[in-house]
Amino acid sequence: MTALVMLRAVRASVAVFVRDVVSGLIQVSHSTLALLGLTVVAVLAFAGSHPELRHEAERAAFGWLQSRYEARAEREGNLLVSLADPQGVARATATDPKELDRQQAAVAKWLSRRYRVAPEPVSRLVQEAWQVGRQAGLEPTLILAIMAVESSFNPFAQSAVGAQGLMQVMTRVHDDKYERFGGTLAAFDPVTNLRVGVQVLKECIQRAGGLEAGLRYYVGAANLEDDGGYAGKVLAEQAYLRQVASGRGVPFNAPMPVVAPVRSAPVAAAEQAATAPAGDAVIAVR
């Protein structure tokens, strides 16, 4: 009888002990979860008030996941994945034609077909020509016409005398204009070349006192008897672009006058320098 009582007492003690332990664990768990929740809330609130920290954390997490993914892809021999660059689209000079207004979209479509180039990069250049032209006080159709005549929208074009890019500006002559864009290699960035070319064009027109004479300066024929038909070709192309922008139908294979070769740019520039008034710098493009 005594042994039975003692056994019951032990069981009761064990039961009480177990209940106390479980209760304690539950309380500790609740406290820990509450503390963790408060910590998470505090971290989120802090990150919300400091977006740069949140972005940095997101970049770090994405970078870690990307590196693991690429390492696995490299082990498996998947070269396409291991060389992937998510920033490639950010560097592409392209715009969805649907983002353009009616005028710009019509011009981009026409240029794309006329010069057999993709509509997305042409759309970006059309968009830029409208924006930069507005700032410079030049018609965007004139800027696009010069690009068409100069390079046929080839951003890597280079002439025999070193004129480079879409608008065929002499990079070594206008290297100072490329400094703000990171250096002369930016001549092959289509948007940068467009902006520098527009600056040079505006200076040429201001110096010459008119558009046609400014175009002669731009091509390096200011002091030559003939610019080889360059100004006429640019203006003819601009006339087509104006019609397209106004909604008129212009065949994309509409004829253009043939431009005769202009004398060597170094010769033209030397003649301009020799005949320019004292203190009057010559703007060399070719």
pLDDT digits (tens, 9 = 90+) for 162-182: 999 999 999 999 999 999 999
| 166 plus 63 within the same structural domain | no
Instruction: Give the residue, 86 or 174, on which the prediction is more confident.
Output: 174
Domain finish residue from 59, 82, 105:
82
Confidence of residue 56 (pLDDT cuts 50, 70, 90): confident
Q: Determine the Cα–Cα distance for residues 161 and 176; give it in Å rounded to an integer.
A: 19
Determine if the pTM surpasses 0.85.
no
Output DSSP code: residue 206: H
Domain finish residue from 48, 82, 116:
82
Q: Determine the Cα–Cα distance for residues 265 and 100; give it in Å rounded to an integer.
A: 37
| 189 plus 248 within the same structural domain | yes
- pLDDT value for 19: 73
- pLDDT value for 267: 35
| 57 plus 111 within the same structural domain | no
Q: 6: domain range?
A: 2-82
pLDDT digits (tens, 9 = 90+) for 16-36: 666 766 676 677 666 676 667
Domain finish residue from 82, 106, 137:
82
In the chain, the percentage of residues whose pLDDT exceeds 90 is: 53
Let me know if residue 68 belongs to a domain: yes
- pLDDT value for 266: 39
Q: Determine the Cα–Cα distance for residues 201 and 166; give it in Å rounded to an integer.
A: 13
